[in-house]
Amino acid sequence: MSRRRIGQEAFGFAQDSKSGSTLDGLSRVIDWAPTDRRLATISSAAKGEPAWPPLALFKATLLAVWYDLSDVKLAEAPDDRSSFRRFCGFSRSEPTPERTAFVRFRKALVAAGLDKALFDEITAQLKAKAIKVKTGTLVDATIIASASEGDTDGHWVKHRGKTAVHGYKAHVGADADTALVEEIAVTPANINDGRAGPDALPDNPGDVYADSAYRGDHFGRAVLAKGGTPRIVATGMWGRDEAEVRARLEAHNQPIRRIRGRIEKIFGTWKRSYGLRRMRWRGMAKAGLQIRLTAIAYNLKRCLNIVMVAQ
């Protein structure tokens, strides 16, 4: 398949930049060549046109997550932001993709089922940079409203005291120390946390911190099978003295809650800053793509912060 050549003025463009951007740091935080190879088989070209380089389009989708941009705004942004052009690999004078190129690119990603492979590839590099000693894993789930109640892959869920939501659930396993997201499972919103939790466990998870929704043998056995130790919030303990039982229960739960609570900051960043308040597109496959793109974007920025602090 024919591809466009971009970035022919890249070196001169970089010299014109007076100050570095966060995006310049993000472009250096991993080796993008393996990602480029993963994307080599897909094309988002309109009929009769050369295809835009898929890595440039993939980087553009990350910009859309970081800056919460629609396809229309993303197509317009490179005209105003030289840092966007540098990050994607475009020179200062050449044209950049139109809105429909991003639509076709997402469809190609979904059709090829590449979202998990890309997440795994990039996360492996970031973990090698940021995670020195694995001590524990945070496991939890968050509900994301569907793009439409007519999305038949989503499902209604109702928690006590809260409004019913139609959507999906992202089940996440994150490193307890660095807060890098290591594993993701996506299900309809009505799937029980403990039932889907094993799919969010990385290998050798260490101590696994989770709330009371993960009580039970199904999740506990999965943690042990991965070589980890369950640290689950308890809802009750046996004993004759009520005060003594409450003291033991609090002593057990307090350190778990203190560590487990770190995962709420991840979900808060996804929803507050990265536009994951609701799904943009319909269907389970596209929901998985949006959630994993969000996790990739989050992990890249998180790793950059960790590396900068360590320097």
Question: Average of pLDDT values for 140-164?
Answer: 94
pLDDT, residue 248, reads: 84
Over 80: is that where the pLDDT of 97 sits?
yes
Which of the residue ranges 48-52, 100-104, 108-112 would you say has the lowest mean pLDDT? Answer: 48-52
pLDDT, residue 283, reads: 97
pLDDT, residue 96, reads: 92
Alpha-carbon torsion angle 267, 172, 274, 102, nearest 10: -160
pLDDT category at 309 given cuts 50, 70, 90 is: confident
pLDDT, residue 14, reads: 43
- The CA distance from 84 to 23, in Å, is 8
pLDDT category at 168 given cuts 50, 70, 90 is: very high
pLDDT, residue 1, reads: 55
pLDDT, residue 128, reads: 94
pLDDT category at 3 given cuts 50, 70, 90 is: low
Chain Cα centroid distance, residue 128: 17
pLDDT, residue 227, reads: 96
With beta carbons less than 8 A apart as the criterion, state whether 106 and 289 touch.
yes
Q: How do residues 232-247 score in pLDDT, each as one tens digit?
A: 999 877 777 788 888 8
Q: Exposed, middle or buried, 225 (CB in 10 Å: 0-12/13-18/19+)? A: exposed
Domain ranges of the chain: 10-112, 132-310
pTM: 0.91
Tokens of 199: 């799919």
pLDDT category at 7 given cuts 50, 70, 90 is: low
Fold held by 132-310: Nucleotidyltransferase; domain 5 (3.30.420)
- The CA distance from 66 to 55, in Å, is 17
